[in-house]
Structures are given as C-alpha cells and as structure tokens.
Amino acid sequence: MLTMVNPRGSLEISASPLALPWSIKKPPGPTWIEDVPIYRQLMDVLVVRILDQTYLEEQMLPSVRQLALDCDINPLTVSKAYKELAREGFTDKHRGEGLMLRKGVRELLLRRERNRFMKEEWPILRSRLKRLGIDLRTLADTLHD
C-alpha cells in the first residue's frame, strides 16, 4: 500500500505506484546522435559532469544501473563507458561499492579539454570570427553584457 499527497494536496492511497492518477516525470537525459557510438557520447557527458563538479573527486560515481536508468540506455553501454574511464586512469574500483573518481582527475580533464579546444575548436572559431569581421575586442565587450 502506498500513500501519497497528490498535486492538489489531497491524500491518495494506491496498491501500486503504477496506479497513481498523475505521472512522475524524470528529468530529460542526454540526446544521442545517431552516427556516434552512445558509449563515446556518454564519455563526453561524464567528462562534462566531472568538469562541472556534478561528480566530485574521491566520490562514488552513480551505479551502472542508475546511470543507465537516468540516461535511458543499456547498462552494458554504461559499463563500457566506465571501463573507458578506468582505462584512462580516472577511477578506482571499490569491490562491492562501485567506482570512485580519483583525486586530480578534474585538473587532468581541464588540461585535456583546453588543449582539445585550442587545437580543434579555436581555429574554426577564429576563422569564422575573422570572416564575419568580429575582432577580439568586440568579442570581449560582449562578455560584460
């Protein structure tokens, strides 16, 4: 038996959580691109979450099942992404507990992502700015808006 207060404030009693008169929505997960393997895209999501400090160093990552549920993907895909994190030396496995981010991982990822940006994205962006006649001073002025 499950007892909950519905959005109108009245008490609802239900034999099953599936019988609730309103739906419980989970937050939207990532949108996957068809041409790129999902585990690679998931790696990018994990890197962003580490950089944004959603996942903290020396803290446990979500379980494989939980992340699969949150992202609406197969647990084997999450396992593959987690194995890749381990292969890169970003995690420690704690038997029976899960994966923990190692200390210093965020700084390593920041350096790696900055280098990637400068080599891959900045030349394209700089070229487009030049083509559009936008100088760096004008661009810097927009940062204060």
Per-residue pLDDT of the chain (145 residues; tens, 9 = 90+): 444 444 555 454 455 555 545 555 555 678 899 999 999 999 999 999 999 999 999 999 999 999 999 999 999 999 999 999 999 999 998 888 889 999 999 999 999 999 999 999 999 999 999 999 999 888 888 887 6
Residues 6 or more apart whose CB falls under 8 angstroms from that of 4 comprise 11, 12, 14, 20
pTM, whole model, 2 decimals? 0.72
What would the two tokens of residue 36 be? 């790129």
- Host H or E run for residue 134: none
